[in-house]
Amino acid sequence: QKEVEQNSGPLSVPEGAIASLNCTYSDRGSQSFFWYRQYSGKSPELIMFIYSNGDKEDGRFTAQLNKASQYVSLLIRDSQPSDSATYLCAATGANNLFFGTGTRLTVIP
């Protein structure tokens, strides 16, 4: 059974702080990893993807991948109240994505 695991949270951080979201995956065959943001009642929105070991930065977001540890993380710098949402980690399967249950992030003004 291919699995993606996330800490369900909730994770609360003050405005301006760094939020750190973590994810582990079970299938060593997964090639790419995605972070989606989902606001309550809305559909997932793609934030970033990563497929190489190391860091990938896009604005306030940094994705980190360690294939040896089967670990993916997302850092959000200078967190804003608008970042409050559920963050979903996904890993590729043969032709689909396996999702974790998501981590709920609350940024406190």
Partner 1 sequence: ETGVTQSPTHLIKTRGQQVTLRCSSQSGHNTVSWYQQALGQGPQFIFQYYREEENGRGNFPPRFSGLQFPNYSSELNVNALELDDSALYLCASSFTSGGEQFFGPGTRLTVL
**Interface contacts to partner 1, rule CB under 8 A:** 4, 31-32, 34, 36, 42-46, 49, 88, 90, 92-102
> Rounded to the nearest whole angstrom, what is the least distance from the CB of residue 25 to partner 1 in the complex?
12
Least distance in Å: CB of 17 to partner 1? 25
Residue 95 beta carbon to partner 1: minimum distance, rounded to whole angstroms:
4
Going by the DSSP 8-state scheme, the letter that residue 52 receives in this structure is S
Query: Judged by CB, which is closer to partner 1: 52, or 109?
Result: 52
Residue among 45 and 78 whose Cβ is closer to partner 1: 45
> Strand locations in 26-102, DSSP E?
33-38, 45-50, 54-58, 61-66, 71-76, 85-92, 97-99
Q: Which is nearer to partner 1, 76 or 88 (CB)?
A: 88
Q: To which residue do tokens 């989902």 refer? A: 38
Q: For residue 9, what are the CA distances in angstroms to 5, 56, 85, 102?
A: 12, 24, 11, 8
